[in-house]
Amino acid sequence: MKHFLRMFVQVCLYFYCKCLWRCLKFVVRKLTGRCELQRICYNTKPGAARTMKIEASLKGSKSKRLQTSVSVHPDAIEKTIDDIMELKRINPDINPQLGVSLQACLLQIVGYRNLVAEVEKLRREPYDSENPQHEEMLLKLWKCLKPNSPLKARISKQWCEIGFQGDDPKTDFRGMGLLGLYNLVYFAEWDTGIAQQVLSDSLQPKYSQFNKAEWEKKKFDKAIGYSFAIVGINITDLAYNLLVSGALKTHFYNVAPEAPTLTHFQQTFCYLMHEFHKFWIEEDPLDIMEFNRVREKFHKRILKQLQNPEMALCPHFAASESLINM
Amino acid sequence: MGLLSILRKLKSTPDQEVRILLLGLDNAGKTTLLKQLASEDISHITPTQGFNIKSVQSQGFKLNVWDIGGQRKIRPYWRNYFENTDILIYVIDSADRKRFEETGQELAELLDEEKLSGVPVLIFANKQDLLTAAPASEIAEGLNLHTIRDRVWQIQSCSALSGEGVQIKDASPARLCSPEGKDDGEAKFSKGTAGSVASSPCSSSEGLVWGLVSSSACRGIFHPSRRFDGEVSSLALGER
């Protein structure tokens, strides 16, 4: 009974607050002569802060048309903007800027949703060693990371050198499917210098701290670093979780002036790999068994950074000023 | 030492914590098994760097399950987790025939470990959902399990992917020990596995222990509708 009462009070409180919020919005609208969407666009800087507010406003709207506008097809965005303007009785001739701003926001919102779907599709596609395209990508990964030492056979212990678990990487992609491979290949292909550096560090990051006798005494020579490819697949999981949970919205809405794409996601992965590597060295773990602890700590740190609406994870490809000012 | 004595220890102090160690080669399915035990989503598994740990509450027991990565590089670290282990679960990829020898060697080494002496071992013949999977009986023979005399052991077919033979949630000791299903189960026994194969593996008390770990695994044997072919279940009581 007590429990029921408490719940009842909570429900009442919820509706009361909702009602109060609506009244407040109504009063402000009458006072300023602007609807919520207008107020957001005029008062908030472009970027994640604005787009996220617009998204929340659209989703929480009482109008079905506005609610569904966040999931329209990218081609239908212009039409949707017209509908919203009409519904809100905003004259586009008096407020030309509003339509443009709204369109930019909606492009990002819809783009993010589509990116989640695209990434999910890649993740669900398992690595198939019968598929020549998959095989080609895998071999490309090797070539980019180890340009000077050719792979002797498709099934070879050499795969361990770039951090796979055994002699055939196909079983290592697991739940991340092709997404893991795509990310690794992108990192190795477009950020080759850093990728090779990270790989070589990962093989023996602590060697310098030991003299040779100590090193041999510890017998940790093989396990003290981490496995590059396996960690890459784990960091793919981390990036995927950030994306699906919506945490990456801040980042993408700040760096992708139009719709965020798979390339943006892969660049984010490169950034996370590099950052994780630095974090790993900073944390100075005793051995690989601490991986999940360090990973968790890193995850929390990134999440915290992403709570800041100004945050962009990869400043080197931030959007150009002119586009952001739209 | 043995399963029965562990059980008595557990039974006399309810809410006892049980430390379970999950080992096996890489890609055997340890993490999937761990997530199944904890009733978590298994579609996002990644290769384990280091280890995972989960606590599962079941029938008044708190199971602390340690899942250690099986990559060759990590195997030297296994020994750091031996201490105070109550039950060892060894997972085998039944479809990975090429590495049966390797997995056998690792298991033999584990059984020789002093810190694990007398610790009951449950072997999961995993991935029975694959067509190429070897039946548990074949694996038991290949691994010479019947030569194990110093501890309680059992081999169990399962599919961590489908959850068949794994879940503890719906364990019902009553059914595990019910005599009705027994004929079916007994027929599946490989009588020659060890000199000390118990004819009824699940007397009420024993049933609970394996029930804790492998519950519907046992049910697979006793319940005709949920059974893999060629199942072997033997409860060898080394020191009877």
Catalytic residue among B49, B57, B71, B105: B71
The dihedral of CA B157, B163, B166, B172: what is its sign? negative
Q: What is the mean pLDDT of residues A153-163?
A: 94
- Smallest Cα distance from A149 to chain B, Å: 22
Residue B236, amino acid: A
If pLDDT is split at 50, 70 and 90, which confidence band does A62 have?
confident
ipTM: 0.81
- Tokens, residue A3: 């429990």
- Tokens, residue A296: 């968790």
DSSP code, position A226: -
The pLDDT, as a whole number, for residue B10 is 52
Please indicate whether residue B156 is annotated as part of the active site: no
Residues B31, B45 contacting (CB under 8 angstroms): yes
Which residues in chain B have Cβ-Cβ distances shorter than 8 Å to A222? 73
- Smallest Cα distance from A97 to chain B, Å: 43
If pLDDT is split at 50, 70 and 90, which confidence band does A33 have?
confident
Which residues in chain B come in under a pLDDT of 70?
Answer: 1-15, 167-240
The pLDDT, as a whole number, for residue A24 is 86
Residues B169, B58 contacting (CB under 8 angstroms): yes
The pLDDT, as a whole number, for residue A211 is 53
Which residues in chain B have Cβ-Cβ distances shorter than 8 Å to A166? 26-27, 71-72
Residue A178 has pLDDT above 70, yes or no: yes
pLDDT tens digits, residue range B25-68?
999 999 999 999 898 999 999 999 999 999 988 777 788 999 99
Contacts of B3 (CB under 8 A, 6+ apart): B120, B152, B206, B209, B210, B235, B237
The pLDDT, as a whole number, for residue B13 is 56
Tell me the C-alpha distance between B195 and B205, whole Å. 21
B46, B50, B71 member nearest A290 (Cβ): B50
Q: What are phi and psi of B155, to 5 degrees?
A: -115, 140
CB atoms near residue B69 (< 10 Å): 27
A174, A223, A231 member nearest B73 (Cβ): A223
Q: What are phi and psi of B56, to 5 degrees?
A: -120, 130
Closest A-chain CA to B44: A175
B46, B73, B77 member nearest A234 (Cβ): B46
Interchain CB distance below 8 Å, A223 and B77: yes
| % of chain A surpassing 70 pLDDT | 90
Q: With CA atoms as reference, report the closest residue to A145 among A86, A188, A175.
A: A188
Which residues in chain B have Cβ-Cβ distances shorter than 8 Å to A236? 46
Which residues in chain B have Cβ-Cβ distances shorter than 8 Å to A219? 76
Q: What is the mean pLDDT of residues A220-245?
A: 86
A166: region left, alpha or beta (phi > 0 left; psi from -120 to 50 alpha): beta
Interchain CB distance below 8 Å, B26 and A166: yes
Q: What is the mean pLDDT of residues A265-283?
A: 94
Interface contact B240, partner A, CB < 8 A? no
Q: Which residue has the higher pLDDT, A174 or B178?
A: A174
Q: How many CB pairs under 8 A join A and B?
A: 70
- On the CB side of A129, CA atoms within 13 Å amount to 8
Distance of CA A37 to the CA centre of its chain: 26
Q: With CA atoms as reference, report the closest residue to A272 among A224, A235, A323, A244.
A: A235
